[in-house]
Amino acid sequence: MKVISNSALRRFAALHPQADEALRGWRRVIEKNRFGSWAELKMAFNTIDKVGELAVFDIGGNKYRLIAYIRFEKQIVYIKAVLTHRDYDKGAWKS
């Protein structure tokens, strides 16, 4: 799958350096695989949740949230936001 955009990951890691390794690991798994369905994605990322049409990944042992829109037919992951757990709980990402 292709990640759009890696700059969101880099910006978040610049602000939260402790998240960098976990985000790189997430990106490696996404980019080295093809996921044809939600079920296949769930097998690779056990802690993923579906919120409407968005996928919410738990990153770094539940410290961070990566919110993305996934186009399985095009094999593209569009990153909407990368947040701390606290910022995620505020819910501003839903708008």
Residue 61 in 3-state DSSP? coil
What pLDDT is recorded for position 88?
86
More reliable by pLDDT, 8 or 94: 8
Domain boundaries along the sequence of the chain: 2-94
Q: What is the pLDDT of residues 19-50, one digit of tens each?
A: 999 999 999 999 999 999 999 999 999 989 99
pLDDT of residue 5: 86
Distance CA 67, CA 58 (A): 9
Q: Are 72 and 42 in contact (CB under 8 A)?
A: no
CATH class belonging to 2-94: alpha beta
pLDDT tens per residue, range 57-95? 999 998 999 999 999 999 999 999 999 988 988 887 776
Question: What is the model's pTM?
Answer: 0.92
Half-sphere exposure of residue 47: CA atoms within 13 angstroms, side-chain side: 12
